[in-house]
Structure 1
Amino acid sequence: MTRRAVVTGIGIAAPNGLGPTSYWRALMAGQTGIRRVTRFDISKYRSKLGGEIPDFEPDRHLQDRVLPQSDHITRLSLVATDWALRQANVKNGDVATDEMGVVTAASGGGYEFGQRELAKLHHQGPEYVSAYQSFAWFYAVNTGQISIRHKMHGPGAVVISEQAGGIDAIGHARRQLRDGAELMLTGGVDSTICPWAWVAHQSNGRTSRSTDPLRAYLPFDQRADGYVPGEGGAIMVLETPESVKKRAGTPVYGEIAGYASTFDARRPGRPPGLQRAIEQALGDAGMDAKDIDVVFADAVGDLEMDREEAEAIKAVFGPHGVPVTAPKTMTGRLFAGGASLDVATALLSMFWSAIPPTVGVSEVVPEYEMDLVIGEPRHAAVTSALILARGHGGFNSALVVRQHR
């Protein structure tokens, strides 16, 4: 019998809320976390808006010894992990250390830490570079630091597939549970708000140049002009139902029911693989399109990529066949953290029986024939959800979550 995977704890760090309660309230109120970047002097750059986390104070949550050796993304990841474990009622000794593991997603690693130490190297000399530069910038650092902090000696991995990584990490963690692990920490947290990373964002030509936070990121809208980069994400506790029963009173948000990924080689005449990923994820879950209550879209905000995604959704569900939402219009695209935050949001939608809106969008392209949730939240029972993500370079991923029965 295949071992099932359920989510029992969620830790969230988002531009519009820290923790599931604060974040969910912001979504329901349509509160955006997108604003003019303040982390560095943005005046010389074409794109000036970002989804910054404004009120995170790492020294309130972490020991002094951790701070000098960690980048901003690792600090966010460690704190989100602590919150997720606390919510899942996991304490030291509840699960054997070699039966717990960590799989996270990353897009590049600790950009801010790396940039700072490289500046020291070039302007002051090698003796001024931190010894922690050897790992603090590395894309696997979050998995490593989480494992060390919580003495998790089981499977460990990091997935590098940009925005799709937040789903791929969860899919890989579910596979580890099926292979015998009892509990996995998974998801992704990312932060690329520094000059080094910002140049990379702008090089792809898809970042919005708007200076209006409410009009800058408009996926599926006729006025779509690109996306807004952001920081944050979600870490979740994933475990088997048998493991949960050992801790009385532990909440279960939902089950990871289906997962699939495809890759677009971009050969002439070959259609995008997102539709195939959707169909395979539904098949993995043993579900049909009619069983899905809402789709959380990847929603790039680029007219061509939005059209491709809309066509894939319409091909599977039919015209106006399923409610679609993109609450990331309130946070920006969080890259390795974005899809995992969407998964967490889908689980919260099932918990609260509501679908958050796609803020700012009002002129949906008619040809998409899409039932996009705009304006206000849509209050309705949500028993299942499909989450989509695409990573730069051709990665497509789809994940199905449903209520645990």
Structure 2
Amino acid sequence: MTAGTARAVVTGLGVAAPNGLGVADYWAAARAGRSGIGRVSRFDPSGYPARLAGEITGFDAKDHLPGKLLPQTDRMTQIALVSTDWAFADAGVDPAALPEYDMGVITASTSGGFEFGQRELKALWSQGSRYVSAYQSFAWFYAVNSGQISIRNGMRGPSGVVVSDQAGGLDAIAHARRQIRKGTGLMVSGAVDASICPWGWVAQLAAQRLSTSDDPERAYLPFDPAARGHVPGEGGALLVLEDLDRARDRGARQIYGEIAGYGSTFDPKPGSGRPPGLRKAIELALADAGMAPDQVDVVFADAAAIPELDRIEAEAITAVFGPRGVPVTAPKTMTGRLYSGAAPLDLATAFLTLRDGVIPPSIRVSPSEDYDIDLVTDRPRTAPVRSALVLARGYGGFNSAVVVRAVEQ
């Protein structure tokens, strides 16, 4: 296989979501339409305008990681490390048995380790600099997940981090695919975010896109006439990517599918009169995959739940696929938007959809008649699915799209 022609496939999934830890629990919840959204419990939210979140429950880092790692890592990094362990186990890969320069990791981050940073800043203000942990120098940093994953698993190949808000998870996967095409044997990629703490909460509120509803069943309603913002959440997914031929040669226990196409754009300056860039990102991803619109079996929507952004997304989907031309779903209505972790979780969900032929629903949404899209609601839809399109947009104008498709075993 020459450089640039390798096909990047996904052989392992590590999932941590508000409605399920691990692939099996998460996928059962997604198929059942079970939500993980509720009132914030990690701090008292009563003084804030937004009080709901998708929180991960039942996760104790002490049960999964060595004690020496705990004081030097933020919650998001702890979840990312464990998700990576799960992804390796799912892929049937022992990183210790692989050449260290033949493995790399590229993640995305929106906020970094905010909870760790808040704790140390509080110590600085209240007690003085002597009481600030030396680990503050990196535990808050956007690149910390990539660093800790690579160190823990002896991965010394191409590594990096992408910061493009909620589009970043797809951008990271695309960068990982590029490294596979350049000859790296294995990449870990995706994202986990977790900033449900007062500092992180204020930062999220500043974007003025959070739902202020106190009703978990009516708070996050993309494409619904009642849409008034999203519910944030924590978690995401890490994926193991390999070259297809190498995965087959080693007898990979499963190949979930291929990262077939990728496109990204940036929205023009407001008031420029130029159209938003999401449609172009979709078209670029399809062209990269060498696929026509009618070859896509389902779209996993970005699902902003902001009326103007929902309109832009619905119009982009309709323009490419035709009115009600493809099933559309937003399983993040069960988890909240996990920032950089949201799109990798959607990718993992898309691969499970390819495997099982079940499209999970967008729960509690009654789509507006203004949007001519075929939104899967209320219950899962059974259908033969060989390909999927995953969309993500970041605050400030980022647009990314990834096409995945099944691979003959």
Q: Which bracket does the TM-score occupy, shorter chain normalised?
A: over 0.9
* TM-score normalized by the length of structure 1: 0.99
Q: Which residue of structure 2 aligns with residue 309 of structure 1?
A: 313
* Structure 2 spans left out of the alignment, 5+ residues: none
Deviation at 1:57, TM superposition (A): 0.8
Q: Which residue of structure 1 aligns with residue 108 of structure 2?
A: 105
Answer yes or no: is the 8 Å Cα contact 2:96–2:154 preserved in 1: no
Secondary structure in 1 aligned to 2:263? strand
Secondary structure in 2 aligned to 1:41? coil
Q: Which letter maps to 2:277?
A: G
1:255 aligned residue (254, 258, 265): 258
After superposition, the CA RMSD in angstroms is 0.9
Deviation at 1:113, TM superposition (A): 0.1
1:352 aligned residue (351, 356, 359): 356
Deviation at 1:249, TM superposition (A): 4.7
Answer yes or no: is the 8 Å Cα contact 1:207–1:229 preserved in 2: yes
Please list, as runs of the form range in 1=range in 2, the aligned pairs for 1:167-182 lying within 5 A after superposition: 167-182=170-185
Q: Quick check: 1:287 aligned with 2:291? A: yes
Q: Quick check: 1:393 aligned with 2:396? A: yes
Q: Which residue of structure 2 aligns with residue 22 of structure 1?
A: 25
Deviation at 1:367, TM superposition (A): 2.0
Please list, as runs of the form range in 1=range in 2, the aligned pairs for 1:89-238 lying within 5 A after superposition: 89-238=92-241
Farther off after superposition, 262-271 or 181-190: 262-271
Deviation at 1:28, TM superposition (A): 1.2
Answer yes or no: is the 8 Å Cα contact 1:234–1:341 preserved in 2: yes
Q: Which letter maps to 2:288?
A: D
Deviation at 1:265, TM superposition (A): 2.7
Secondary structure in 1 aligned to 2:370? helix
Runs of 4+ in structure 1 displaced over 6 angstroms?
Answer: none
Cα deviation, 1:347-395, whole Å, max 9, x if unaligned, reads 0101111000000102x11121110000110011110000000000100
* TM-score normalized by the length of structure 2: 0.98
Q: Which residue of structure 1 aligns with residue 329 of structure 2?
A: 325
Q: Which letter maps to 1:30?
A: G
Distance 2:252 2:115 in 1: 40
Answer yes or no: is the 8 Å Cα contact 1:98–1:152 preserved in 2: yes
Q: Which letter maps to 1:237?
A: V
Identity of aligned residues (%): 60
Answer yes or no: is the 8 Å Cα contact 1:95–1:182 preserved in 2: no
Q: Which residue of structure 2 aligns with residue 67 of structure 1?
A: 70
Answer yes or no: is the 8 Å Cα contact 1:209–1:216 preserved in 2: yes
Answer yes or no: is the 8 Å Cα contact 1:227–1:332 preserved in 2: yes
Answer yes or no: is the 8 Å Cα contact 1:388–1:399 preserved in 2: yes
Distance 2:363 2:29 in 1: 11
1:369 aligned residue (343, 367, 372): 372
Deviation at 1:92, TM superposition (A): 3.9
Q: Which residue of structure 2 aligns with residue 239 of structure 1?
A: 242
Q: Which letter maps to 1:302?
A: I
Q: Which letter maps to 1:350?
A: L
Residue-pair matches, total: 404
Distance 1:115 1:249 in 2: 42
Deviation at 1:128, TM superposition (A): 0.4
Distance 2:342 2:264 in 1: 16
Distance 2:31 2:159 in 1: 35
